[in-house]
C-alpha cells in the first residue's frame, strides 16, 4: 500500500481585516479538494488559520483601545465563524499567537541559525509603517519635508530608518531553488505563477531581513529579546507548527509532512515558492509537493474595495446563494488559477442552470417517477441496453477521471466532468421516455428508472465535495447508507439494490430569483 495521507493547507489569514469573498474562495477550494481526497480514500489533514502578528495588528488593537491579543481573539473568531456556514471541513485551525506555534518558530529559527544561515546586520532604507515595507529610491516620490518620502505605488509616507536586523542567507539558495524547480516541474502552479517565480529567482536572490526591533507584537527571537521575527518566518512556519514539529503538542509530522499542496493567493506565491522552500532546506526538512496559487475576483467588473463599497462579505454570499450555491458558483464560475469576475447574474444563472435545472431536477423527475410508478422502491433491473451501459460506465469512470483534475487543482474540470454526466442523464430520460414505457413496456420502464437512480447515486457521491448539503440530501432520498458514499462505492458491486424502500422525494436545489438589488 502506498502512502494514503494527504495534507492540504490554506494561507493563514491576516487578522487586520475581516473575512470576505476572497477568503471564502480560497478556503472553499481547499475544502473541496480535502473532501474529495477523503472520499477517494485518503487520510486527510486540512489546515487553515490566522496570521496575527505584526505592526499593523498592534496598531489596530491600539486604535481599538484593546490589548493586541484580545483584538486578535476577536478577529480570529470572525474567521472561525465563517467556516461552518460554508461547510469547511478543516481538521485544525492554527493561530500564530498560540504557544505551539511560537515554540515551533523558535525551534525553526535555531535550526536555521545552527545551519549558519542567520546573521545579524543592519537594514537601512525608506520604510512605510502603513505598508510595513521598505521601498527603494526608485519607488519613491518627494514628500512634504526632507525626512519624508511617499511610496509611489501606495501613497504611503516613508521615513528613513536604520534598523538592526537578522538576515537569512537566501542568496545561498538561488541555485538550489532553481534546481529544485527543474526537478519538480509541478511544484508551482498554475504555469504563469511558476514562470514568474523562476524568472524572479533566476535574477539572483538577496538575503532576507527576518527580524524587527520597531515593534514587539511577534515571536521573540531566541537569545535576543530586542527582536521579534518578521512576518514570513513567523507565518510560513504555521504549516509545521500545526503538525507539532518540535513543539511537543502533537506528532503529525511523520504522517503528513511534506504537505501535498499549499493553496495560496497569487500575491503570496513567492513567499511560499521561494522563502519557504529555502527555510526548509536550511532546516533539512522535506519540501512541500505543490504550491498552487489562485487568482483574484473582481466584482461586477470592478476591483473589490472598501471605498467602492462593493466588498462581498461571507454573509452576502450565504444570503444570496446559500452554502452549496456559494460553493458551486465560486468553483464553477472561473477556472481555478485564473482571475475572475464575480457577477451576481451569472452566479444565479449558474446555480439555477446546473443545480436547480440540472442535478436537482434530474433527481426530482427521476425519483418522483419511481415514487409514483414503482411503489417507492428501487426499481427492478432487467437486461441493460447499450444506452444503459454507456451511461453507467461513464458514471462509474468519474472517480478516476476527476481525480486527475483535482490533483492538478483543476477544480472546474472536475465539476465539468461530473455535470457532463448529469447532462447525459437528462438526455437519456428524454430518449428513453419512461412515461411512454409505463404503458408500452413496464419492465423496460423499471430498468430505465433503475439506471437513472443508479446514475444519480454516482453523480451525487461525486458531488459531495462541492455540495456537501445537497448531495447528502439526494443520497438520503436514495436511502443510501452513510457509510456507502465514498468513491470506492462507485461501481456495479455497490449498485443500488432493487426493492429497497425509498423516502418521499423532495426538491433539493430551489431556483433562485434574480434580484438585481442584491448585486452589490
Residues 169 to 208: which contact RNA by CB under 7 A? Answer: 170, 191-193, 195-196, 199-200, 206, 208
Task: Find where cell 518558530 sits.
Answer: 105
CA dihedral over 241, 188, 42, 330, signed as positive or negative: positive
Comparing CB distances to RNA, the nearer of 162 and 492 is 162
1 binds RNA (CB under 7 A): no
Q: How far apart are CA 1 and CA 6, in angstroms?
A: 14
Binding-site member from 155, 250, 510, 514 for RNA (CB under 7 A): 510
Interface with RNA (CB under 7 A), residue from 110, 511, 518, 519: 511
- Rounded CA-CA distance 111/106 in Å is 9
Task: Kindly determine how many residues on this chain lie close enough to bind RNA according to the rule CB under 7 A.
Answer: 80
How wide is the angle at C-alpha 514 spanned by C-alphas 25 and 477, nearest 5°?
70
Backbone angles phi, psi at 499, to 5 degrees: 95, -15
Of 252 and 281, which has the nearer Cβ to RNA?
281
CA 376 – CA 361 distance, rounded (Å)? 18
Phi, psi of 485 (to 5 degrees): -120, 25
Q: Give the interface segment with RNA, choosing from 313-321, 396-404, 454-462, 503-511 (CB under 7 A).
A: 503-511
Reduced DSSP (H G I as helix, E B as strand, rest coil) percent helix, strand, coil of the chain, to 5: 50, 20, 30
CA 54 to each of CA 99, 165, 214: distance values in angstroms, whole numbers, following the listed order: 16, 15, 10
For position 290 contacting RNA by CB under 7 A, the verdict is: no
Judged by CB under 7 A, does residue 468 bind RNA?
no
Question: In the complex, what is the shortest distance from the CB of residue 335 to RNA, in angstroms, rounded to a whole number?
Answer: 5
Please give the residues from 298 up to 337 whose contact with RNA meets the rule CB under 7 A. Answer: 303-304, 333-335
User: Considering the complex, what minimum distance in angstroms separates the CB of residue 367 from RNA?
Assistant: 9
Instruction: State yes or no: residue 267 binds RNA (CB under 7 A).
Output: yes
Decide whether 104 or 269 has the Cβ nearer to RNA. Answer: 269
Site for RNA in 397-456 (CB under 7 A): 423, 426-427, 429-431, 433-436
Alpha helices in 342-410 (DSSP H): 344-350, 361-373, 386-396, 398-407
Cβ 440 to RNA shortest distance, Å? 12
* Contact flag: residue 296 with RNA (CB under 7 A): yes
- Give the C-alpha distances (Å, rounded to integers) separating 354 from 104, 115, 351, 398, 511: 45, 55, 6, 18, 10
User: Considering the complex, what minimum distance in angstroms separates the CB of residue 252 from RNA?
Assistant: 24
Q: How far is the CB of 249 from RNA (least distance, A)?
A: 25
Q: Which of residues 120-159 bind RNA (CB under 7 A)?
A: 131-134, 136, 139, 153
- What's the Cα-to-Cα distance from 489 to each of 8, 195, 486, rounded to whole Å? 24, 40, 6
Distances (CA, A) of 387 to 267, 363, 418, 476: 48, 19, 18, 27
Residue 22 interacts with RNA (CB under 7 A): yes or no? yes
- Applying CB under 7 A, among 369, 475, 496, 502 the residue interacting with RNA is 369
77 vs 338 by CB, closer to RNA: 338
Least distance between RNA and beta carbon 385 (Å): 17
Q: Which CB, 210 or 242, lies closer to RNA?
A: 210
Task: Say if strands 5-14 and 261-265 run parallel, antiparallel, or are unpaired.
Answer: parallel
Compute the least distance from the CB of residue 180 to RNA, in Å.
18
Minimal distance, residue 516 CB to RNA, in Å: 15
Integer Cα distance of 14 and 56 in angstroms: 10
In the complex, least distance from residue 422 CB atom to RNA, rounded to whole angstroms: 8
Q: How far is the CB of 479 from RNA (least distance, A)?
A: 18
DSSP 414: H
**17 to 90, 126, 262, 496: CA distances (angstroms):** 21, 25, 22, 49
User: Binding mask 66-105 vs RNA (x if CB under 7 A, - otherwise)?
Assistant: ----------------------------------------
Q: Which residues have a Cβ under 8 Å from the Cβ of 46 and sit 6 or more positions away? A: 7, 8, 9, 30, 31, 34, 89, 90, 91, 92
- Can you tell me which of 341, 390, 404, 515 binds RNA, judged by CB under 7 A? 341
The smaller minimum CB distance to RNA, of residues 157 and 333, is found at 333
Cβ 399 to RNA shortest distance, Å: 22
Among 189, 322, 358, 465, which residue interacts with RNA (rule: CB under 7 A)?
Answer: 358
Compare residues 265 and 399 and give the one whose CB is closer to RNA: 265
* Phi, psi for 216 (deg, rounded to 5): -125, 5
Amino acid at each position: 500500500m502506498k502512502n494514503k495521507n494527504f495534507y492540504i493547507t490554506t494561507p493563514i489569514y491576516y487578522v487586520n481585516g475581516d473575512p470576505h469573498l476572497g477568503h471564502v474562495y480560497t478556503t472553499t477550494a481547499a475544502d473541496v479538494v480535502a473532501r474529495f481526497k477523503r472520499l477517494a480514500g485518503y487520510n486527510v489533514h486540512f489546515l487553515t488559520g490566522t496570521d496575527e502578528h505584526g505592526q499593523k495588528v498592534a496598531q489596530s488593537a491600539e486604535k481599538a483601545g484593546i490589548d493586541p491579543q484580545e483584538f486578535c481573539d476577536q478577529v480570529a473568531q470572525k474567521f472561525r465563524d465563517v467556516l461552518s456556514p460554508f461547510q469547511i471541513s478543516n481538521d485544525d485551525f492554527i493561530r500564530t499567537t498560540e504557544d505551539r506555534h511560537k515554540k515551533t518558530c523558535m525551534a525553526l529559527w535555531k535550526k536555521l541559525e545552527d545551519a549558519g544561515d542567520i546573521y545579524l546586520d543592519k537594514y537601512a532604507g525608506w520604510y512605510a509603517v502603513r505598508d510595513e515595507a521598505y521601498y527603494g529610491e526608485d519607488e519613491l516620490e518627494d514628500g512634504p519635508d526632507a525626512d519624508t518620502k511617499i511610496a509611489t505605488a501606495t501613497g504611503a509616507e516613508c521615513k528613513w530608518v536604520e534598523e538592526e536586523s537578522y538576515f537569512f542567507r537566501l542568496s545561498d539558495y538561488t541555485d538550489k531553488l532553481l534546481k529544485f524547480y527543474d526537478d519538480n516541474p509541478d511544484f508551482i502552479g498554475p504555469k504563469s505563477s511558476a514562470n514568474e517565480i523562476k524568472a524572479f529567482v533566476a535574477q539572483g536572490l538577496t538575503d532576507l531581513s527576518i527580524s524587527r526591533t520597531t515593534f514587539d507584537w511577534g515571536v521573540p527571537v531566541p537569545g535576543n529579546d530586542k527582536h521579534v521575527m518578521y512576518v514570513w518566518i513567523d507565518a510560513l512556519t504555521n504549516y509545521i507548527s500545526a503538525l507539532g514539529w518540535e513543539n511537543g503538542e502533537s506528532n503529525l509530522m511523520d504522517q503528513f509532512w511534506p504537505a501535498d499542496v499549499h493553496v495560496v493567493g497569487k500575491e503570496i506565491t513567492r513567499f511560499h515558492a521561494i522563502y519557504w522552500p529555502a527555510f526548509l532546506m536550511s532546516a533539512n526538512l522535506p519540501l512541500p509537493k505543490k504550491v498552487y496559487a489562485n487568482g483574484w475576483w473582481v466584482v461586477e467588473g470592478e476591483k473589490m474595495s472598501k471605498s467602492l463599497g462593493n466588498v462581498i462579505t461571507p454573509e452576502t454570499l450565504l444570503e444570496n446563494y446559500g452554502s452549496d450555491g456559494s460553493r458551486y458558483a465560486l468553483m464553477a464560475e472561473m477556472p481555478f488559477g485564473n482571475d475572475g469576475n464575480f457577477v451576481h447574474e451569472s452566479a444565479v444563472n449558474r446555480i439555477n442552470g446546473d443545480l436547480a435545472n440540472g442535478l436537482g431536477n434530474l433527481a426530482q423527475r427521476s425519483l418522483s417517477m419511481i415514487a409514483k410508478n414503482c411503489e417507492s422502491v428501487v426499481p427492478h433491473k432487467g437486461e441493460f441496453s447499450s444506452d444503459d451501459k454507456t451511461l453507467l460506465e461513464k458514471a462509474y469512470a468519474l472517480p478516476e477521471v476527476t481525480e486527475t483534475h483535482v490533483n492538478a487543482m483543476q477544480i472546474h474540470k472536475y465539476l465539468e466532468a461530473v455535470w457532463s454526466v448529469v447532462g447525459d442523464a437528462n438526455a437519456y430520460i428524454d430518449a428513453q421516455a419512461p412515461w411512454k414505457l409505463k404503458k408500452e413496456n413496464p419492465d423496460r420502464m423499471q430498468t430505465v428508472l433503475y439506471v437513472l437512480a443508479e446514475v444519480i447515486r454516482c453523480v451525487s457521491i461525486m458531488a459531495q465535495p462541492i455540495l456537501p448539503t445537497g448531495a447528502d440530501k439526494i443520497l438520503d432520498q436514495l436511502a443510501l447508507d452513510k457509510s456507502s458514499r465514498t468513491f470506492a462505492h462507485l461501481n456495479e458491486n455497490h449498485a443500488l439494490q432493487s426493492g429497497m424502500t425509498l423516502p418521499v422525494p423532495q426538491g433539493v436545489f430551489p431556483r433562485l430569483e434574480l434580484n438585481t438589488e442584491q448585486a452589490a
